[in-house]
Amino acid sequence: MKLLKLPVLCAVLLVFISDIKFSKCDDFPSLITQNASIAIIIDREYLDVQYEDVLKEIKVIIERVLREDLKNGGLVVFYYAWTKINLRKDFTAVFSITNCENTWEIYRDSRGENLLLMAITDPDCPRLPYDEGLMIPIMTPGEELPQLILDTKARHSFDWKSAVLLYDNTFDRDMISRCVIALSRNFPDDSNQVQPLSVSVYKIRETSLDWNRRKHIRNILTSLPSRFIGTNYMVLVTTELMQTIMEIARDLKMVNTFSQWFYVVSDTNYKSGNMSTVLSLLEEGNNIAFIYNYTSDNGECVSGIKCHSNEILRAFTLGLSQAIREELAVYGQISDEEWEIIRPSKVERRGSILNFILEHLRKTSSCSNCTMWKIETADIWGSRYQASTFTSQSVAEKKLQIDSNVDYALINAGMWRPFEGLLMNDVLFPHISHGFRKKVFHIITYHNPPWQYIKTNGTDIVSEAHGVVIDILNEISKKLNFTFVLHTTSTSTDLNTTDETTNLTMTKEIRLLTTDLPTEVASMLNENKILLAAVASTVNDRYKNFLNFSIPISIQPYSFIVAKPKELSRIYLFTAPYTHGTWLCLALMIVILPPILCLVNRISPYYEFHNQCTKKGLFKFSNCFWYIYGALLQQGGLYLPQADSGRLIIGTWWLIVIVLVTTYCGNLVAFLTFPRVDVQVKTVGELVRQSAMSWGMRSGTYFEDYIRDSNDIPKYETLYKGAKFHSDENPEIIDLVRQGKHVYIDWKSNLLYIMRREYLKTETCDFALSSDEFMEEQIAIILPYNSPYLELFNVELTRLHQMGLIQRWIKEYLPKKDRCSKQSNLIEVVNHVVTIDDMQGSFLVLLLGFMAGLLIFCTECTWRYYRKRREEKIIQPFVE
Ligand SMILES: *[C@@H]1O[C@H](CO)[C@@H](O)[C@H](O)[C@H]1NC(C)=O
Ligand SMILES: *[C@@H]1O[C@H](CO)[C@@H](O)[C@H](O)[C@H]1NC(C)=O
Ligand SMILES: *[C@@H]1O[C@H](CO)[C@@H](O)[C@H](O)[C@H]1NC(C)=O
Ligand SMILES: *[C@@H]1O[C@H](CO)[C@@H](O)[C@H](O)[C@H]1NC(C)=O
Ligand SMILES: *[C@@H]1O[C@H](CO)[C@@H](O)[C@H](O)[C@H]1NC(C)=O
Ligand SMILES: *[C@@H]1O[C@H](CO)[C@@H](O)[C@H](O)[C@H]1NC(C)=O
Ligand SMILES: *[C@@H]1O[C@H](CO)[C@@H](O)[C@H](O)[C@H]1NC(C)=O
Ligand SMILES: *[C@@H]1O[C@H](CO)[C@@H](O)[C@H](O)[C@H]1NC(C)=O
Ligand SMILES: *[C@@H]1O[C@H](CO)[C@@H](O)[C@H](O)[C@H]1NC(C)=O
């Protein structure tokens, strides 16, 4: 059964697949079964008096090309004198001579049928989509500028929303207004998505004196409100003025990584056209492109409708002929069914004919072939830092060999010709579209967790790297399209130490890996040899004069650790509800009250009056005492006074007892439930006020500088004066902290590391962090002084911040949460179980009571013994 099913399934599948293939080809006649046809539309209205002439000429041309060039098959030609025709489906191509508007009308009509449209039309006409048709605007030589701009825009060479147009007086107002219209007009075809630009136009006046002109240009450039009009400049000038403007713009720092300068130079030609003179004016971080006149003025320069018609129709016929030939060649070898499957679709046929025409025209075109413009763009970004000659392997002779005078190269980005418009081999602004263009940079770094974890094996070439900074660099390099090779450096610095010792130029092994910068890194940045240092560094005034910092990648607050507050012993818990004063008062009451009660009872005339016994009960002092004591413990007594005076005293005592006992019970429960802990030092204020613990921090940190100089904040002043400065955190210090004798101040993240490390060592949580986070230190990446890429990197870093990536990476490299981190700040309130420890105190009292009882028992015994002895002595004489 199963074996049978499989072939059936395959057959079904096969039919299905072939079905798909059949449905792909649309039902248009192939060039073999039916002759191709072309509609020739010659707009009588548009040509006016020229019409008859042109028509006759075209008929002659058609006749000739059919005779001479169409070797296989045939071509059916239909002539129309107006444009509102119904384009039949079986046309192969349309050739039209009409104005721009009607051309686009025809295009829209023919688009659905995938016809090949070849059009001759007005100047300043937006090109038809490059892969669907050919358009030749007939223009007088020297007036091609607006068309040029239109074509540049249609090709999405620049993605601008606004443009600043600067021009000099080589162009008249008419030409400029045509250029402005070209920039700001809407395209008839919305599928192309060419957005109109907002254009601000500025004219540079001609002045005879060079000095005057410079001043004028400077004034214009400085007064541009670039915040509102954008930083995309299109400059239509002569070569000479271009150089002046480039110079001034560079000096005004208007050429940066975000601005785009597009120079349109018209006074050159194919001989003098050479932009190499501007190379010296280029600088790192620029975006500059040129399009310049490459028109040749020797030789004959024909143009006009007839010339172009002739060329196009001829090229078309040749193209068609070739297409037929190709189809025939294939057709001859295969069966009809197969042919139906593989024959080219209409779109494919249109594409191949169009390509043939363009190819043919490029090679042989002689109409308007003088007019040509060349586009060059500068590949600048990162050229300076691109060290292709880095060979050194040894740490000792590690010097990045970089030429100080860099040769920037101009890229031949493309050219413009009337029949095909813009032909680009590269993008107009390579760095805007492709960032650093996959350049390879050598970047220096060193091991400094958690920012940089670097592993090397022998050489200075890094074999493995990760860490916050490296992660950031990886992400940015992807975005900005560069790759990098990491090199490590030894971490020593010869920075002048800030304290006033005589030994100023001391080379020390670097310890404070973010506060100090290794000499090598500093010098490389200073000499502008590397794009950036993959190094997290404290934003520090000391370096600001010869380096530039990016925006902070992280903000590190300072904090301190103290010994974790101990839980107090609970042996005397039962005494806790009352303060010592209260206990004392209570004892006093018990001492004072019985005599008073006794006295009142004895003095009271009540008993005498009623003639009652006044020897027993509360008349005895000891009974009074025991009664008061018993009442306090809410025990009744045998006797009660009968006189109202005595009763009143006892009544009020009972009241007090209720209050005392209730308060005691309530508090006792509370104290049993909540553990009692030591007071913890939580803020800097508390730290400087206490005197039991000393405090210390690493020396040379930014924080030290800060508190030394902050004379106006008293607590920092005290903090600085009382602080001990350690060269580094070490086990002795940590032990002191653990014993509660010392407080250690550092970055919070470092403290977290220490706490984690100690926890892993001892498995107990001995430390607590301060709740105070003070003095935030900014950590940033370093770039060379006045690096043009600072803003660029800042933008990328901001983006990473906004996406929360940096935050995440930092968190990843921080110690993981453990048992201690939960309790680091506050002792958590947990339901406390009362243990025997908590009761010890009461048992102690019981023991004391027993012992006291025993003591008194012994006293009583001895007392009795002596009494007996004395009685015996007295009685003796009577004994015989
Ligand atoms: C194509 O045109 C040629 C010459 O014009 C003619 O001989 C031929 O019959 C035509 N073929 C078809 C299929 O119409
Ligand atoms: C381009 O150069 C040619 C020859 O130098 C000149 O005739 C023509 O006017 C120039 N084009 C423009 C737009 O200036
Ligand atoms: C450009 O002109 C300079 C001299 O002005 C010349 O040395 C260089 O070869 C020229 N470059 C080209 C591509 O013509
Ligand atoms: C233009 O075409 C003519 C005639 O084919 C030729 O002589 C001339 O060299 C061409 N000019 C250019 C710049 O190619
Ligand atoms: C990076 O640069 C290369 C070389 O220019 C380019 O081909 C590529 O498209 C660029 N990649 C990105 C993502 O821009
Ligand atoms: C260093 O590590 C890299 C990559 O792991 C390896 O290719 C290279 O051979 C190693 N070099 C030495 C000297 O071990
Ligand atoms: C350090 O101080 C010495 C002498 O004062 C000075 O010559 C040197 O340039 C200083 N070095 C730095 C890096 O500031
Ligand atoms: C400065 O200190 C270094 C090492 O710390 C020592 O070798 C050098 O002799 C000292 N220089 C002076 C002038 O004291
Ligand atoms: C680089 O640092 C210097 C000195 O602090 C500063 O004047 C300059 O503005 C910084 N550069 C940039 C691009 O911010």
Q: What is the CA(65)–ligand 9 centre distance, in A?
A: 69
Q: Is 269 in the pocket of ligand 4 (CB under 6 A)?
A: no
CA distances from 323 to 95, 217, 319, 320, 719 (A): 18, 57, 6, 5, 90
Q: Which helix (H) or strand (E) holds 867?
A: helix 836-875
Residue 880 to residue 874: CA distance in whole angstroms = 14
**585 is written with which tokens?**
């008062």
Q: Whose CA is nearest to atom 5 of ligand 9?
A: 544
Q: Which of 666, 363, 396 is nearest to 520 (CA)?
A: 396
Residue 331 placed within a domain: yes
Residue nearest to atom 12 of ligand 5 (CA): 434
In this structure, of 173-187, 578-592, 610-624, 688-702, the range with the lowest mean pLDDT score is 610-624
Ligand nearest to the CA of 273: 3
Higher-confidence position of 765 and 24:
765
Q: What pLDDT does 492 receive?
A: 57
- What is Dmax (Cα atoms) for the chain? 186
User: Is 218 part of a structural domain of the chain?
Assistant: yes
Ligand 2 mutation target, pool 169, 264, 266, most atoms within 8 A of CB: 266
Is the pLDDT at 521 greater than 90, yes or no? no
CATH number for the domain harbouring residue 106: 3.40.50
Instruction: Tell me which of 123 and 33 has the higher pLDDT.
Output: 123
Mean of the per-residue pLDDT values for the chain? 83
Q: Is 295 in the pocket of ligand 2 (CB under 6 A)?
A: yes
Residue whose CA lies nearest to ligand 5 atom number 9: 434
Categorize the per-residue pLDDT at 86 as very low, low, confident or very high, splitting at 50, 70 and 90.
Answer: confident
Place of tokens 């008249």: 172
**Least reliable range by pLDDT among 212-226, 324-338, 538-552, 674-688:** 674-688
For every residue of 267-280, DSSP letters joined together read: S--TTT--GGGGGG
CB 311 within 8 A of CB 368: no
Q: What is the pLDDT of residue 458?
A: 67
pLDDT recorded at residue 6 = 53
Residue 649 has pLDDT above 90, yes or no: no
| DSSP assigned state of 448 | B
pLDDT of residue 775: 83
Tell me which residue has its CA closest to atom 3 in ligand 3: 276
Same-domain pairing of 190 and 285: yes
Residues 323 and 194 in one domain: no
Same domain, 192 and 272: yes
Is the residue at 754 inside a domain?
Answer: no
Do the bridges between strand 774-784 and strand 533-538 make them parallel or antiparallel, or are there none, so unpaired?
antiparallel
Identify whether residues 186 and 285 lie together within a single domain: yes
Quote helix, strand, coil % in the chain, to nearest 5: 45, 20, 35
Q: How many helices (H) and strands (E) does the chain have?
A: 28, 27
Total tally of structural domains belonging to the chain: 4
**Is the per-residue pLDDT at 758 higher than 90?**
no
Strands 742-747 and 694-698 turn out to be: parallel
The C-alpha angle 707, 712, 714, rounded to 5 degrees, equals 75
Query: Tokens 């039919």 map to which residue?
Result: 15
| pLDDT at residue 681 is higher than 70 | yes
Report the range of poorest mean pLDDT among 194-203, 289-298, 334-343, 742-751. 334-343
Q: Is the pLDDT of residue 505 over 70?
A: no
Ligand 3 and 99: CB distance under 6 A: no
Tokens coding 591: 């001492």
**What are the tokens at 326?**
């190709």
At 22, the amino acid letter reads: F
Identify whether residues 146 and 219 lie together within a single domain.
yes
Beta strand 774-784 pairing with 547-549: antiparallel
Whose CA is closest to 467, among 782, 809, 801? 809
- Listed residues 319, 349, 369: the one ending a domain: 369
pLDDT for res 878:
57
276 and 420 co-located in one domain: yes
Residue 455 and residue 588: Cα distance in Å, rounded? 76
In this structure, the answer to whether residues 284 and 429 fall within a common structural domain is yes
Q: Residue 404: pLDDT band by 50, 70, 90 thresholds?
A: low
Q: Given pLDDT bands bounded at 50, 70 and 90, which one contains residue 830?
A: low
Q: Is residue 692 assigned to a domain?
A: no
Q: What angle do CA 675, 679, 683 make, to 5 degrees?
A: 130
Which numbered atom of ligand 7 lies nearest the CA of 522?
13
What's the CATH number where 591 sits?
1.10.287
| Average pLDDT rounded to a whole number, residues 156-179 | 90
For the ranges 19-28, 248-257, 588-597, the lowest mean pLDDT is seen at 19-28
pLDDT score of 423 more than 50:
yes
Q: How confident is the model at residue 795, as a pLDDT?
A: 95
Residues 73/31, Cβ–Cβ less than 8 Å? yes
pLDDT number for residue 121? 93
Cβ of 303 below 6 Å from ligand 4 = no
Lowest mean pLDDT of 381-385, 504-508, 718-722, name the range: 504-508
Task: Categorize the per-residue pLDDT at 880 as very low, low, confident or very high, splitting at 50, 70 and 90.
Answer: low
| pLDDT computed for residue 821 by the predictor | 67
Residue 423: phi and psi, rounded to 5, are: -120, 110
The 3-state DSSP class for residue 410 equals strand
Task: Name the DSSP letter for residue 461.
Answer: B
Q: Left (φ > 0), alpha (ψ -120 to 50) or beta: where does 695 sit?
A: beta
Token pair 């924080």 in the structure block, residue? 703
pLDDT tens per residue, range 258-295 = 999 999 998 888 888 778 888 888 888 899 999 999 98
**Is 557 or 493 the better-scoring residue by pLDDT?**
557
Nearest atom within ligand 5 for CA of residue 434: 14
Cβ–Cβ < 8 Å for 447, 454: yes
In a domain, 587, yes or no: yes
> From CA 66, how far away is CA 92, in angstroms rounded?
15
> Which residue, judged by its Cα, is nearest atom 10 of ligand 7?
496
pLDDT, average across residues 36-56: 90
Which pair of structure tokens corresponds to residue 764? 């107990």
From the list 648, 650, 647, the residue with the least C-alpha distance to 631 is 650
Enumerate the known binding-site residues for L-glutamate: 538
Q: Is 360 helix (H, G, I), strand (E, B) or coil?
A: helix
Residue pair 641/599 in contact by the 8 Å Cβ criterion: no
The answer, yes or no, to whether any atom of ligand 4 lies below 6 A from the CB of 369, is yes
Q: Cα–Cα distance between 248 and 262 in angstroms, integer?
A: 15
Q: Which region among 1-15, 346-360, 498-512 has the lowest average model confidence (pLDDT)?
A: 498-512
Per-residue pLDDT reduced to its tens digit, 431-472: 999 999 998 888 888 888 788 888 877 666 778 888 899 999
Q: Are residues 599 and 616 in the same domain?
A: yes
The best mutation among 31, 32, 35, 327 to test binding of ligand 1, ranked by most ligand atoms within 8 Å of the C-beta, falls on 35
Q: What is the pLDDT of residue 391?
A: 44
CA angle, residues 171, 176, 180, in degrees to nearest 5: 160
Secondary structure in 3-state letters for 528-549? CCCCCEEEEEECCCCCCCCEEE
Indicate whether residue 439 lines ligand 5 (CB < 6 A). no
Say if 262 falls within a structural domain.
yes
Choose one of 316, 350, 369: the last residue of a domain: 369
Dihedrals phi, psi of 723, to nearest 5 degrees: -80, 150
DSSP state of 174: H
Are residues 234 and 358 located together in one domain of the fold? no
Torsion over CA of 710, 714, 716 and 721, rounded to 10 degrees? 100
Cβ atoms of residues 270 and 372 within 8 Å: yes
Residues 6+ apart with CB under 8 A from 74: 35, 36, 66
Q: Which two tokens stand for residue 452?
A: 């940089």
Band of pLDDT at residue 389, cut at 50, 70 and 90:
very low
Q: What angle do CA 479, 482, 483 make, to 5 degrees?
A: 120
Same domain? For 108 and 240 the reply is: no
- Residue ranges in 604-730 assigned as alpha helix (H): 606-609, 621-632, 644-673, 684-689, 702-709, 714-722
Listed residues 673, 692, 720: the one ending a domain = 673
Mean pLDDT of 557-584: 83
DSSP string, 97-126: E--HHHHHHHHHHHHTTT-EEEEEE-SS-P
Q: How far is CA 230 from CA 162, 197, 261, in A?
A: 6, 11, 12
Measured CA distances, 196 to 181, 189, 192, 291, 446 (Å): 9, 12, 12, 21, 50
Are residues 592 and 659 located together in one domain of the fold? yes
Asked if the model's pLDDT at residue 501 lies above 50, the reply is no
Which tops the pLDDT comparison, 857 or 708? 857
Query: Tell me, what's the pLDDT at 498?
Result: 43
437 Cβ below 6 A of ligand 5: yes
pLDDT band at 301 (very low <50, low <70, confident <90, very high): confident
Q: Is 436 left (phi over 0), alpha (psi -120 to 50) or beta?
A: alpha
Q: Which residues of 494-528 are buried (b: 16+ CB within 10 A; e: fewer)?
A: ebeeeeeeeeeeeeeebebbbbbbbbbbbebbeeb
Say yes or no to pLDDT of 18 above 70: no
Q: What is the whole-number distance in angstroms between the Cα of residue 279 and the centre of ligand 1?
A: 61
Please report the pLDDT score of residue 24 as a whole number. 40
CB 508 within 8 A of CB 765: no
Residue 510's pLDDT band (cuts 50, 70, 90): very low
* Residue owning the nearest CA to atom 1 of ligand 1: 74
Is it the case that residue 232 has pLDDT exceeding 90?
yes
Atom of ligand 3 nearest to the CA of 274: 1
Report how far apart the first and last C-alpha atoms of the chain are (Å, whole number): 140
Residue 761 located in a structural domain: no
For residue 232 the two structure tokens come to 């995309």
Q: Is 503 in the pocket of ligand 8 (CB under 6 A)?
A: yes
Q: CA 807: distance to chain centroid?
A: 9
In a domain, 544, yes or no: no
What is the per-residue DSSP string for 292-309? EE----SS--B-SHHHHH
Looking at the fold, whether 121 and 218 belong to one and the same domain comes out as no
How many C-beta atoms surround the C-beta of residue 51 within 10 A?
16
pTM over 0.85: no
Instruction: Report the nearest-CA residue for atom 13 of ligand 7.
Output: 495
Residue 694: which of 825, 499, 824, 563 has the closest Cα? 563
What is the pLDDT at residue 506? 37
- The length of the chain is 880
Lining ligand 1 with CB less than 6 A are 34-35, 73-74
Counting from 1 in the atom list of ligand 2, the atom nearest the Cα of 142 is 9
Residue 178 belongs to domain with CATH number? 3.40.50.2300
Of ligand 6's atoms, which has the minimum distance to the CA of residue 459?
13
> Relative to the alpha carbon of 294, which ligand is closest?
2
Q: Are strands 554-563 and 774-784 parallel, antiparallel or unpaired?
A: antiparallel
CB 707 within 8 A of CB 720: yes
Nearest in space to 151 (alpha carbons), one of 173, 130, 121: 130
Q: Which domain holds residue 254?
A: 142-294+372-379+408-437
Could you identify the residue written with the tokens 């803020």? 683
Classify residue 804 as left (phi > 0), alpha (psi -120 to 50) or beta.
Answer: left
The confidence band for 180, taking pLDDT boundaries of 50, 70 and 90, is: very high
